[in-house]
Chain A
Amino acid sequence: MSEIPMRIHKPVFTRLKKIFRFSFLAFLGPGLIATAAGNDAGGIATYSIAGAHFGYALLWTMIPLTLALIIVQEMSARLGAATGKGFSDLVRENFSLRMTVFMMLFMTLANSSLVVSEFAGIAASLELIGISKYVSVPFAAFFIWHLIVKGTYPKAEKVFLVMSALLLTYVPAAFLAHPHWSGVFQGLVKPTSISMPGYLGTLIALIGTTISPYMQIFAQASVVEKGITMADFKSERWDTIIGVLFSNLVAVFIIIATAATLFPAGIVIEAASDAARALSPIAGPFAQILFGVGFLGASLLAAGVLPLTTSFSLANAFGWESGVNRSLDEAPVFYAIFTFLIVLSATIVLSPAISLISLLINLQILNALVLPIELYFMIKLINNRQLMGKYVNGKLYNLCAWTVMGGLTLASIIYVCNVGIAILNRVLDIHLYQAIIKLIFSFA
């Protein structure tokens, strides 16, 4: 048919847009939001602590973590593209009800812990300019709740995104801090294990914040929402990989910047103001402001997305009405869930005895512990031929996926055992402890 009329042939402009999809412009879409939400309050706190307390000693974890994150994120995107469904839908339809409840329980636990950490981030960043958390947190909670209910969140999101983009200044800050580049490279490629208190905990927190379970659910949901199918998955795969590389590169620079400025001075990060000092090479006296605004933007961005994603996941799994375009009468459970999440998180952050920074890092550890559970479900789903057809994992890919899963499980187990022994040590009188061990040995 030679006379296919002109309107069908898209103008050159749209074709150009297609070619440049993977370029910088791609980050302006949900890709950037996903990666920015990955580098949220918990992430920045964890990377700062990793750099400030351990110098370049934890830098090596970023290479295996990046590879693992690429594998995991690619699988989530593929699940979304091949089925057109969200993660929780797939879990409900392909596992028993008991397993679904189990999975959703842990997912909700991990996600709510992140909401808490975002509120901790909001509190910490506003404390930099002297606003007490007893003022900032209730106000922020109401503000976010209002944005969600009114459906204006997408607009506000762009503002938060621009604010959090200030954190990109970590990259020049790292260069201006004149780090020992040889030390940096050695730290990157050579796994080092130092027996310092908190080393293992920080490592686990790095895992939890880099590959947080929520990011996979978000990635899958956004693939479904964009209507990407396997036919146009190739470019989506590149989007995923570039997004991961980009966000983890920023993470590496946060570690370098803090390692170069705070570690030599022996500064222990106890408050956000300590972490902010890493930006002083570039911003001088304005470091606190720069850090504060970026930190606040990143926290606000995720503080809205997280409760929403969690409520949608739960509603989909259990067949409740969902969406803010439904009225309160139509979707009571949906409204209840995200309101509860916001109120609960704000309340936890407001409890007086809590150190915001240690809260931030401990919640990342919780995420890391949930991760293997989520991965198990994901690998099972992606290898379900009935569901995925020919898009199941290949043999080699499966090997990689199970290796990631194994590594993460091992790390979690080591950590849990360590904490268990530490608690035992503290609870039991040391002599009693030794007596028990002797007793066991005498039996053996």
Chain B
Amino acid sequence: MDFYLSELLNNAVFNQSHEKIGVVADLAVTDLGQPHPKIRGMVVKRESRKEAVFIPEHDVAAISPKLIRLSTDIVDLHPFVQRNDEVLLAQDVYDKQIVDIDDRRLTRVNDLLLEEYQNFLRLQGVDVSSLGLLKRLNLPNIGNLLKRNIVDWENVQFLGGNSPMKFKVQYKNLEALHPVDIARIIFEGPGYKQGSRVLSSLKDPIAADIIEELSPKLQKNLIESMKLEDVADVIEHMPEYKAADLLVTLGADYAQKILPLIGKEHTAKIQTLLKYPEFSTGAYMRTEYVVIPSGITLDEVFKRVSDLEKLPDFILYFYVLASEQSNHLVGVLSMYELFAADRRTRVESVMIKKLITASPHDHIRESLKKMYRYSLSALPILSKTEEKLLGIVTFRDAISYYLPKRWKVRIRNIFSNGNGV
């Protein structure tokens, strides 16, 4: 049988000899991260001026909105004190914010659905409907206009309350969402204090993806409230050019603190990117792309690509170098030629040799114009003197120069709504 927590609260509790010992004040749970957490017991408020007591689940014979009876006459009268791992449903979960994972939205706990389970109860779901509110206020549902809307606890991410609570909240369920959605949902609502807690608890690659999606101001607030080591881990998982942008946002003082904690190789790459002035093509440069030496056949290219441990985000073009060791760019092989041409042909015969390239000091507008004019998805960036391949700039990254900053996720924007996500 199912019923709501609100139907249980303030109901009388009787002992085995049918004497009333008090009323239900709250229910306790230990692990909210479970798909359907089991209720561990209830907090019973005795007559006024007496301390509340805790009744463990095994002392309860029957529990329903109609009757709550214990299987014993002996009650531990020690005053109830909330333990660190205990979550009280009415006190800590009611009215707090949750993420509805299926609907990808932020909402609030209006009531909680309980289900009979192994002689006691477990938490089944959350009522997010306005009817839940009415019921808790003992107001009638006029004309039965409103319906309950239950979200299964399995598909709920509880976000916790104001201050770091006594118990630890797991944010595992969030990982089912796309980082863009997490960024949008979390930072539209719960405030940055909670936001930083959510970020620290997520896996580093996901946290890195989320941070990339945020507006600079929000990035700054969040990161400053996170631990240095956590931030370093997150930055390690970012592409260098995004990490560089982030460091610019955070400022020189913070960069000095954080760079020593990041891997040497990563730091060196970030520092190179940072040498380029703002809005230069170099500042938008990516350093993750696929290179192949000239002289091999297309078949071998296929093999090399499938052997790659991790494919970079951008794989429309393969960059052909003079030899395995050199950094001298001789041509570009596009996905189209790779698939269209005979597999036995050599790379040099199908690759594009007349290259459109950019220099790291070109203004990003110029590079974007080139890509648009020649219908290219990316440009290789060559050093001016030695014609060495430094990196690439993609159309997507370059166009972000023109995008309003507010395309990034900001805290819900009351005054310039519509454009903000």
Contact = CB atoms under 8 A, between A and B. Distances in A.
Interface in B184-220: 188-195, 215, 217-218, 220
B128 interface: yes
Contacts of A151: 417-419
A387 to B, nearest CB: 5
B163 A4 contact: no
A312 interface: yes
Contacts of B192: 84, 227, 229
Interface string A156-176: 010000000000000000000
A222 interface: yes
A84 B418 contact: no
B149 to A, nearest CB: 11
A224 B67 CA distance: 46
Contact of B271 (A5, A227, A325, A333): A5
A305 B195 CA distance: 27
Contacts of B109: 319
B397 to A, nearest CB: 16
Contacts of A305: 415
Interface in A329-376: 330, 333
A312 B188 CA distance: 12
Contact of A224 (B136, B275, B411, B417): B411
A62 interface: no
Contacts of B161: 93
Given A7-B275, A387-B163, A308 B417 contact: yes
Nearest to A96: B95
Contacts of B420: 325
Nearest to B133: A318
Interface in B73-110: 94-97, 105-110
Contacts of B224: 229, 231
B297 interface: no
B105 to A, nearest CB: 6
Given A225-B411, A226-B217, A387-B163, A8 B274 contact: yes
Contacts of A152: 418
Contacts of A21: none
Nearest to A147: B418
A389 B256 CA distance: 29
Contacts of B416: 154
Given A84-B191, A221-B414, A305-B415, A101 B137 contact: yes
B60 to A, nearest CB: 26
Contacts, number: 146
Interface stretch (B172-180, B247-255, B331-339, B341-349): B247-255
Which of B215, B275, B416 counts the most A-chain CB atoms under 10 A from its CB? B416
A237 interface: no
A8 B218 contact: no
Interface string A5-20: 1111110000000000
A222 B136 CA distance: 32
B136 to A, nearest CB: 6
Contacts of B277: 6-7
16 contacts: A4-B256, A7-B277, A7-B278, A8-B252, A8-B274, A84-B190, A85-B191, A93-B97, A94-B162, A98-B137, A224-B191, A227-B215, A227-B218, A231-B224, A324-B417, A386-B163
Interface of B: 94-97, 105-110, 128, 130, 133, 136-137, 161-163, 188-195, 215, 217-218, 220-221, 224-225, 244, 247-248, 251-252, 255-256, 259-260, 271, 274-278, 283, 410-421
Interface of A: 1, 3-10, 30, 33, 83-85, 89, 92-94, 97-98, 100-101, 150-154, 157, 221-222, 224-227, 229, 231, 305, 308-309, 312, 316, 318-325, 330, 333, 384, 386-387, 389
A-B interface, 3 closest residue pairs, ranked by CB to CB distance from nearest: A151-B418, A84-B191, A319-B108
